[in-house]
Structure 1
Amino acid sequence: MLLTEGELHEQVGRLEGWKLDSGAIVRKYMFNDFMKGIAFVDEVAAISEAFDHHPHITIDYKTVILRLTTNEEGGITALDVREAHEFNEAFEKTR
């Protein structure tokens, strides 16, 4: 179920580094070197498989951008928010 506008702003406000962008939530993660970014993407992949929900991933040298939305629902759901929290935890462990 899609989050309401109020829920969306409240939930995203609690997500460190995440922003609303055209029907999705997006975060840019910066790393000290390329391989740390790749290790993070490996963690993102494992988390995504566990959730059976996969983000759009952009890798640009030491920068990884994740974009989450629930296509089947046509926007952002609680699943996207829960997964974003998991990605943030993985980032803290990886960097």
Structure 2
Amino acid sequence: MLLTEEELRQQVSKLEGWKLENDILMRKYMFNEYMKGIAFVDAVAAISEAFEHHPHITIDYKTVTLRLTSIEAGGITPLDVREAHEFNEAFEKNR
């Protein structure tokens, strides 16, 4: 089930660092060491497997960019938002 425009705005306002790009939730995570970013990606992979929902991941040296959307639903769903919260928690543990 897709989030309405209002629900989406409310949810994104509660997601530290995340922003909307059309029908995609996006966040860039910055690390002071390359390997900390890689450890974070490992955590993201484990979370994604548990959710059975996988983000687009870009690694650019010390920056990891995540993009979330539910392609089957045609946009952002509550699952994307819950997963984004989990990624933020993993970031706090892997900084």
TM-score by length of 1: 0.99
Matched, 1:47 2:44: no
* 4+ runs deviating over 2 angstroms: none
Q: Distance in 1 between matches of 2:81 and 2:43?
A: 17
Unaligned stretches of 5+ in structure 2?
Answer: none
Matched with 1:59 is 59
Q: Distance in 2 between matches of 1:41 and 1:22?
A: 24
Matched, 1:69 2:69: yes
| Deviation of 1:22 (Å) | 1.7
Q: Distance in 2 between matches of 1:26 and 1:40?
A: 16
Unaligned stretches of 5+ in structure 1?
Answer: none
SS at match of 1:80: helix
SS at match of 1:66: strand
Q: Distance in 2 between matches of 1:65 and 1:9?
A: 21
- Total equivalences in the alignment: 95
Q: Distance in 2 between matches of 1:48 and 1:71?
A: 15
- CA RMSD of the aligned region, Å? 0.3
Matched, 1:20 2:20: yes
Q: Distance in 2 between matches of 1:19 and 1:67?
A: 10
Q: Distance in 1 between matches of 2:51 and 2:40?
A: 16
Question: Partner amino acid for 1:7?
Answer: E
